[in-house]
Amino acid sequence: MTSTPVWVRAEIEYAAFGSYRVPDSSPSYALCSPLPSPAALRLALVDAVIRHTGSVEEGRRLFELVKAAPLWLAPPSRIAVMRFFLKRLKPRGRETLESTGSREYCHFGGPVTVWMSVQAPEAVARAFSWLRRLGTTDSVITCLPGTGNPDLSLCMRTMAEFSDDAAVRGRPVYTLHDLRPEARFEQVDPWSASPREAAGAVEKRIYVLPLVRERAGQNWVIYRREPWPMPGVGEEVSGGCCG
């Protein structure tokens, strides 16, 4: 580990469409967030390490590194959000049942960029390189890790950071999950934790995305990234919007 935290920068590319369901939205009418929740990203890294190494203990060690690490996320320059009516097969015992539902998917006009400040940058960068899915099972991704300071003018921010409503007017707002600082690995272990245990490890926060609506139709919206009016690359960053 390094004595001084290092910002790991990762670019996440979706192979096609991606969908991360907004917490507490109905599975039969699933709304998606253009960016994944901080908790989903942290736990996806842990899951990737366990799957790649075959070691739950390796996942436990990474969990302690990333669970409260300062984190920033930035959308690409454009995102299209589309709503589809789907026919699905759901497993029920040894059989499958047909069901229908509506779900939103995103098409990204570039990579989602993530910055995480950690004291073990090599281990965390390796975990990012092992990421293969973020969101639904068909939200397939590749990830290119590196290092670099976050550009805060492009990043998702918490609603609590704004004292003036005018600054967030016209921007999409989502309630997403992040891990509690006191969360334990046993609560989120993807191989043994129960849904009730996992719910106790997360907390809800309201986030505002640096996007504005460019065009819209009956079942689709195109968002354009609109930077926040603030300093960007080069400023000292000690924390994150998450963690």
For residue 238, pLDDT over 60 is answered with no
Which domains are seen in the chain, by residue range? 6-23+33-81+107-225 (3.30.70)
For residue 27, pLDDT over 80 is answered with no
177-193: pLDDT as tens digits: 999 999 999 998 877 76
Q: Which tokens in the block code for residue 106?
A: 């995103």
Asked if 124 and 62 touch (Cβ cutoff 8 Å), the reply is yes
Q: Which residue would you say has higher pLDDT here, 209 or 89?
A: 209
For residue 232, pLDDT over 60 is answered with no
pTM (2 d.p.)? 0.89
Q: Please tell me the predicted confidence (pLDDT) of residue 193.
A: 65
What are the beta bridge partners of residue 176? Answer: 205
pLDDT band at 234 (very low <50, low <70, confident <90, very high): very low
Q: DSSP letter for 16, please.
A: S
114-158: pLDDT as tens digits: 999 999 999 999 999 999 999 888 899 999 999 999 999 999 999
234: left (phi > 0), else alpha (psi -120 to 50), else beta? left
How high does pLDDT run on average in the chain?
Answer: 90
For residue 99, pLDDT over 90 is answered with no
User: CB neighbours of 124 closer than 8 A, spacing ≥ 6?
Assistant: 8, 45, 62, 65, 66, 69, 116, 118, 145
Q: Once rounded to an integer, what is the mean pLDDT over residues 23-37?
A: 87
3-state helix, strand, coil in the chain (%, to 5): 20, 40, 40
Q: Please tell me the predicted confidence (pLDDT) of residue 235.
A: 47
Report CA-CA distances (Å) from 18 to 35, 136, 141, 176. Answer: 10, 7, 9, 17
